[in-house]
C-alpha cells in the first residue's frame, strides 16, 4: 500500500514540475504590463486582451510582437487582425 502512495506522490510531483516549468506563459505578465502602461484600457480589458492574444499566438510569437519583429508579411497582418478582434471583444465585454 505504501508503494501506491509513493507512486501517487511521484506522479503528482512530476505533474507539478512539468506544469510550473513548461505550461506557464513567460510573456503573459510582460504583455499585460505593456497594455496597462499604454493608459487607454482598464485592468480587466488588458487581462482580456492578453488572454485573447495568448490564445492565438505562442509565447515565442508574443515575444516577437512585443519586440515589434512582425515584419511586413502575413504574420504582421495576422497580428493586426487578432489585436483588432481582441480589442473589440474585450471592450464589448466590459
Q: Can you tell me the distance from the alpha carbon of 52 to that of 49, in angstroms, rounded to the nearest whole number? A: 5
pTM for this entry: 0.72
What is the per-residue pLDDT for 67? Answer: 93
- DSSP class of residue 67 equals T
Could you count the other beta carbons within 10 Å of the beta carbon of residue 89? 14
6-22 pLDDT, tens digit each? 888 888 887 776 666 55
Q: Comparing C-alpha atoms, which of 79, 13, 7 is closest to residue 87?
A: 79
Cell of 83: 489585436
Domain layout of the chain by residue ranges? 25-93
**Which residue positions in the chain have pLDDT lower than 50?**
none
What is the per-residue pLDDT for 14? Answer: 78
What is the per-residue pLDDT for 25? Answer: 79
49, HSE (Cβ side, Cα atoms, 13 Å): 29
What is the per-residue pLDDT for 3? Answer: 84
What is the per-residue pLDDT for 4? Answer: 84
Give 15-43 as a DSSP string. HHHHIIIIIS-SSHHHHHHHHHHHSSS-H
Amino acid at each position: 500500500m505504501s508503494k501506491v502512495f509513493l507512486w501517487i506522490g511521484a506522479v503528482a510531483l512530476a505533474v507539478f514540475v512539468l506544469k510550473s516549468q513548461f505550461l506557464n506563459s513567460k510573456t503573459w505578465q510582460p504583455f499585460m504590463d505593456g497594455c496597462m502602461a499604454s493608459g487607454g484600457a482598464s485592468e480587466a480589458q488588458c487581462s482580456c486582451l492578453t488572454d485573447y492574444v495568448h490564445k492565438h499566438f505562442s509565447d515565442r510569437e508574443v515575444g516577437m510582437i512585443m519586440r515589434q519583429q512582425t515584419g511586413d508579411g502575413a504574420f504582421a497582418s495576422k497580428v493586426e487582425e487578432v489585436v483588432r478582434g481582441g480589442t473589440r471583444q474585450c471592450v464589448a465585454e466590459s
